[in-house]
């Protein structure tokens, strides 16, 4: 009986998942439902490639935005703008 109570307390006191973790778990369940291991691996590899490409686009846009901001507000101390 003590072991049962100890297990219940352990489950009760275990860290609860965050909303983001719940969303990710739900998406993974939907994506990989009834797929073989090979299909799951192929999907994850493709997802990784797409995610890296998207992150590269985001990085390039951030660099472009930073350049434009620095140019118009003269916040880049390395570049001197003279009029």
Q: How far apart are CA 10 and CA 63, in angstroms?
A: 48
Read off the pTM.
0.48
Q: What confidence tens digit (pLDDT) does each residue in 42-65 have?
A: 988 998 999 999 999 988 888 888
DSSP string, 10-68: HHHHSPPPPHHHHHHHHHHHHHHTT--HHHHHHHHHHHHHHHHHHHHHHHHHHHHHHHH
Q: Note whether 29 and 21 are within 8 A (CB).
A: no
Other C-beta atoms closer than 10 Å to the C-beta of 58 total 10
- Tell me the average pLDDT across 76-81: 57
């Amino acid at each position: 009986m003590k072991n049962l109570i100890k297990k219940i307390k352990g489950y009760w006191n275990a860290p609860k998942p965050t909303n983001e973790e719940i969303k990710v778990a739900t998406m993974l369940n939907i994506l990989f439902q009834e797929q073989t291991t090979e299909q799951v691996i192929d999907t994850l590899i493709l997802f990784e490639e797409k995610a890296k490409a998207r992150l590269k686009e985001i990085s390039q846009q951030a660099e472009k935005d930073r350049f434009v901001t620095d140019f118009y507000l003269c916040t880049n101390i390395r570049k001197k703008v003279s009029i």
